[in-house]
Homo-oligomer: A and B are copies of this chain.
């Protein structure tokens, strides 16, 4: 009986400095996204109609902040400065928030649910292309910790009480989607590293155009599902 050859150890993708840079960018954009989600949710909590709602929204904010720490630790391990890694994405993410400041409590709820859901789906798609350690870290940092059932319940009840609200919130969610896409394009145009992550490399399979198209249909489908759960037309 001949011994079968030992399986080749998987090549360390971080030996490729382009890959390392792209992962630093990706963790940086996710980290700043969570930091600013924390800030905006905490701000939106001020519009809560009841103390109970204020606590629930503040809990969502705090959960976002809790996700930040492991990303920062990993950035440090990779030899990057967490603040420096976040900086390139401040303008785009702040731009998104400035253009989508909720006018009232319900717009804030929909933004929290639809916006964070979309971002999380997108980052999960990107993470699927990466080494297992990075992938697991990103997926954990996007975990919905069960707070969003609260949003669904509140939005549905409000629409039941005032059906016109449903029309307004559906328009609002479309605007959120448009702004998110326009800021994402801006980031992709400015940071080649992130576009390259999706496209793959010499040693790493990536997505061709057809696969990227499929990814976008999956994102759209899940967005439509979320809208349906809120009782809104996508």
Residues in B with CB closer than 8 Å to A66 are 62
Which B residue sits closest to A87, measured CB to CB? B51
Chain B CB count within 10 A is highest, among A65, A68, A90, for A65
The reply to whether A68 and B83 form a contact with Cβ atoms under 8 Å apart is no
Render A75-112 as a binary contact track against B, CB cut-off 8 A, 1 for contact. Answer: 00000001100110010000000000000000000000
Q: Is A193 an interface residue (CB 8 A)?
A: no
- Distance in angstroms from A25 CB to nearest chain B CB is 15
Q: How far is the CA of A54 from the CA of B65 in the complex (A)?
A: 11
Which B residue sits closest to A59, measured CB to CB? B65
- Distance in angstroms from A133 CB to nearest chain B CB is 23
- Distance in angstroms from A64 CB to nearest chain B CB is 9
The reply to whether A55 and B42 form a contact with Cβ atoms under 8 Å apart is no
The reply to whether B83 and A55 form a contact with Cβ atoms under 8 Å apart is yes
A-side interface size class: 20 to 34
Question: Which of B58, B68, B72 is within 8 Å of A39, CB to CB?
Answer: B58
Residues in B with CB closer than 8 Å to A72 are 55
With contact pairs A55-B68, A62-B62 given, residues A46 and B50 touching in the complex (Cβ less than 8 Å): no
Q: Is A45 an interface residue (CB 8 A)?
A: yes
Summarize A's interface: helix, strand, loop or mixed.
helix
The reply to whether B38 and A42 form a contact with Cβ atoms under 8 Å apart is yes
The reply to whether A61 and B42 form a contact with Cβ atoms under 8 Å apart is yes
Q: Is A43 an interface residue (CB 8 A)?
A: yes
Residues in B with CB closer than 8 Å to A62 are 38, 61-62, 65-66
The reply to whether A83 and B39 form a contact with Cβ atoms under 8 Å apart is no
Residues in B with CB closer than 8 Å to A58 are 35, 38-39, 65, 68
Q: How far is the CA of A42 from the CA of B60 in the complex (A)?
A: 13
Chain A contacts to B: CB under 8 angstroms? 32, 35, 38-39, 42-43, 45-46, 50-52, 54-55, 58-59, 61-62, 65-66, 68, 72, 82-83, 86-87, 90
10 closest cross-chain pairs (CB), A and B = A42-B42, A51-B83, A62-B65, A52-B83, A62-B62, A51-B86, A58-B65, A38-B58, A39-B42, A39-B45
A-B contact sample (10 more), CB < 8 A, given A32-B51, A51-B90, A55-B83: A38-B42, A39-B45, A39-B46, A42-B42, A51-B86, A52-B83, A55-B68, A55-B72, A58-B68, A59-B65
